[in-house]
Amino acid sequence: MKKSILVTGGSGFIGSNFIRHMLGKYPEYRIINLDKLTYAGNPDNLRDVEDNPNYSFVCGDICDSVVADRLLQKVDIVVHFAAESHVDRSIDDASAFVKTNVLGTFILLDKALRNKIKKFIHISTDEVYGSRIEGSFKETDILTPSSPYSSSKASSDLLAQSYYITHKLPVIITRCTNNFGPYQYPEKLIPLFITNLIDNKKVPVYGTGKNVRDWIYVLDHCKAVDLVLHNGTVGEIYNIGGGAEKTNIDITKKIFEILNKDDSMIEYVQDRLGHDFRYSLDCSKLKALGWEPEHDFNEALTDTVNWFLKNRWWWEKLRH
């Protein structure tokens, strides 16, 4: 069955990998990519699919209600990736996070309702739950976000839920752990460390590097969203995790091993304000739909390092 899908933020890291996955798997689907092309939105991310007749790009802002309304008249489904997402930037100035993540999501939901969208997949983050020392968060747990970024995402989650509860807009929410892989903007930990080390620069490690994150290869995330889009239950929330909890220092040393570097390349820096210690998700609800992460962490990290080694043309111009 032919579907028309609006992907917001499709020129970003996860969105571009999702579009490439969907175009490859579903040649009968038509995809419109709406992206404002802020610093993390990169046309090079989808250079290889620009000529696909089922793909089209619109440069625009999700906060522009006229653009949102015009595009939502043309599609059946929305997959909403667009967001400001870097925690450090949100600590320095939260205004763009509130505007894009909260107001932008509201505008999309409102126009989706008016245009009778058949499904609205809202992409969120594990950070909305906050931190925990042991155990894993379930979808029903209370949200206790710590940063302006995660607070803005929690707000957008609640808005999305309210449109389902109040208006029966067919919303599904996904919350994912830390992604890594090709085309990730080099401000995030893994691509920053890889590109620094390729250039023989030190890597900045917060505090003692003992903070724990669960990591997932981006293609496993994309396949999970694909599954939820087709088989998820409307009104539900699904956690997505890679099942690979690592401390930041463990990640650092693994990258050192792949690139033949040593601990002399570490520069310990002052810890992030309000730094969450550990994120962990219970993904049994998603696994009940038949999903499992397919990529081994160590193999996927090696593949990612090799991708950055081979694609200096892509990342060198993004570094400041």
Cα torsion angle, 100, 101, 104, 108, sign:
positive
142 lies in the same domain as 199: no
The pLDDT of residue 15: 98
193 lies in the same domain as 159: no
| Residue 305 in domain | yes
Contact 291, 224 (CB under 8 A): yes
Backbone φ and ψ for 270, nearest 5 degrees, come out as -60, 140
126 lies in the same domain as 200: no
Separation in Å, CA 160 to CA 15, 28, 89, 167, 293? 19, 28, 24, 10, 26
| Residue 164 in domain | yes
CATH of the domain at 186: 3.90.25.10
The pLDDT of residue 272: 67
| Residue 290 in domain | no
Catalytic residue set: 126-127, 149
Cα torsion angle, 17, 20, 22, 25, sign:
negative
148 lies in the same domain as 251: no
How many structural domains compose the chain? 2
128 lies in the same domain as 152: yes
State which residues form the domain around 311.
Answer: 180-213+244-276+295-318
What distance in Å separates the CA atoms of residue 36 and residue 26, rounded to the nearest whole number? Answer: 25
| Residue 286 in domain | no
134 lies in the same domain as 193: no
185 lies in the same domain as 96: no
Widest Cα–Cα separation across the chain: 57
Average pLDDT by consecutive 10-residue portion of the chain (320 residues)? 92 98 97 94 96 97 98 98 82 87 98 98 97 95 93 97 98 97 94 97 87 95 98 98 94 97 91 78 98 97 98 90
The pLDDT of residue 1: 63
125 lies in the same domain as 168: yes
| Residue 154 in domain | yes
Separation in Å, CA 252 to CA 177, 179, 300? 18, 15, 15
Neighbours of 318 (CB within 10 A): 15
119 lies in the same domain as 186: no
What distance in Å separates the CA atoms of residue 215 and residue 218, rounded to the nearest whole number? Answer: 9
Q: At 320, list the tokens.
A: 């400041």
| Residue 284 in domain | no
Cα 55 off chain centre by: 21
| Residue 15 in domain | yes
CATH of the domain at 92: 3.40.50.720
255 lies in the same domain as 136: no
DSSP conformation class of 97:
H
| Residue 283 in domain | no
27 lies in the same domain as 160: yes
168 lies in the same domain as 255: no
Contact 255, 301 (CB under 8 A): yes
